[in-house]
Amino acid sequence: MGVEIERKFLVIGDSWKTVEPVTLCQGYLNTDKARTVRIRTSANEAFLTIKGITSSISRPEFEYAIPIDDANELLLLCSESIIQKKRYALPIGDVVWEIDEFFGDNAGLIIAEVELRYEVQSIELPNWIGKEVSGDSRYYNSSLASMPFSKWVD
């Protein structure tokens, strides 16, 4: 079984924009609390990802490459809005920070994620890291598809 161990943070400033981004499009076929089923495309690749329920900062994750044409058809079946974002991958120390700059209904939101080998792994936080939002389900991409950042009241 695959396991994703991930921490999420809000981003401050734009000093992290030092690499070329990849444009991603993703939609959700299922956003049940116990499981999500995601389709993600980039320019030449597509993936089907199934994630289980989150416990602390870990959850089961299974990801499979699929044909891009199939992914584009599956995106049409997604019940919520499609997430549009640019992803910047920055290797720092022994981890890779992925900074997602959202567009569309989530414009203005920038989140940094870092995948860890184990939950208590210590990491150095870059100076552009803001508040940690790992436990706040509003920042899950599956939540942003159904309740976009532009519709938040607080």
* pLDDT tens for the chain, residues 1 to 154: 588 899 999 999 999 999 999 999 999 999 888 899 999 999 989 999 999 998 889 999 999 999 999 999 999 999 788 999 999 999 999 999 999 999 999 999 999 999 999 999 999 999 999 999 998 999 999 999 999 999 998 7
**Which conformational region is residue 104 in: left (phi greater than 0), alpha (psi within -120 to 50 degrees), or beta?**
left
Residue type, 39: I
**Domain extent listing, the chain:** 3-146
28 carries an active-site annotation: yes
* pTM recorded for the entire structure: 0.93
Q: In this structure, are residues 62 and 49 in contact, taking their beta carbons and an 8 Å threshold?
A: yes
Task: Decide: helix, strand or coil at residue 8.
Answer: strand
3-146: which CATH topology?
Hypothetical Protein Pfu-838710-001 (2.40.320)
Catalytic residue among 28, 64, 88, 118: 28
